Amino acid sequence: MNLEVREENYIENLNWRYATKKFDATKNLKETELEKLIESVRLSASSYGLQPYEVIVIENPEIKEKLKAAAWNQPQLTDASHIFVFANFKKIDASHIDDYLNNIAETRNLSREDLKGMEDMLKNTVLNFTEEEQQIWASKQTYIALGNLLAAAAEFKIDTCPMEGFNSAQFDEILNLEEKNLSASVVATVGYRSDKDPMQHLEKVRKSKQELFHIL
């Protein structure tokens, strides 16, 4: 496929995607599809590259039921094949930064001494945030990963619904997140649209280019 066709498809696929309200509960993601989505999320950019979050992927029907009750009974939670819960770190400490620096050193064949400047910079900034600032900052990073998931899924013709309509404290309890220093930040349900979902036929509502962009 040449580049031009690929670019056109990308925009076409972004128009094809929509926040799916009604999933086909009989259709599940294949393992290979799930793996592609997981890899797309794993490759997300994050501030400093720290990735201060984890992603819980749920396919268990009983857990889905419990989560639905904590999400205003939105049917996507049980009808979709999978639920991705993006959970930010509640507190970021020196060990998280050390783990990251050790990963860089190993991946790029460097010594920790080579990374001393980066270590000082990271520790002097992130560890000086208040706990609340850390949580807000970590939560923002989860939205970048969410965006990657939505765009990647559209490329693979997989449907998604991004969701903030859930009770974060209840999700944390159901998924035992608190004890893992995590808190549910944003969610996406993933699967295949039902052909009975009327939302798929609606025109996209977006600001015009003139309203949204200012090219200086």
Ligand X SMILES: Cc1cc2nc3c(=O)[nH]c(=O)nc-3n(C[C@H](O)[C@H](O)[C@H](O)COP(=O)(O)O)c2cc1C
Name the residue nearer to ligand X (CB basis): 91 or 157: 157
Name the residue nearer to ligand X (CB basis): 3 or 205: 205
Q: State the burial class of residue 141 (Cβ atoms within 10 Å of its Cβ: 0-12, 13-18, 19+).
A: buried
Query: Going along 90-199, which residue ranges are E strands?
Result: 159-163, 182-191
User: What CA–CA distance (Å, rounded) separates 24 from 99?
Assistant: 41
Q: How far is CA 124 from CA 91, 104, 130, in A?
A: 15, 19, 12
Torsion of CA 91, 94, 98, 99, to 10 degrees: -20
Q: Which of 50, 87, 154, 163 binds ligand X (CB under 6 A)?
A: 163
**Nearest distance, CB of residue 165 and ligand X, angstroms:** 3
Name the residue nearer to ligand X (CB basis): 19 or 174: 19
**Nearest distance, CB of residue 5 and ligand X, angstroms:** 23
User: What CA–CA distance (Å, rounded) separates 179 from 69?
Assistant: 22
Residues 19-58: x where in contact with ligand X by CB under 6 A, - otherwise, as a string? x-x-------------------------------------
Q: Check residue 86 for interaction with ligand X (CB under 6 A).
A: no
Interface residue list for ligand X (CB under 6 A): 18-19, 21, 74, 161-165, 186, 204
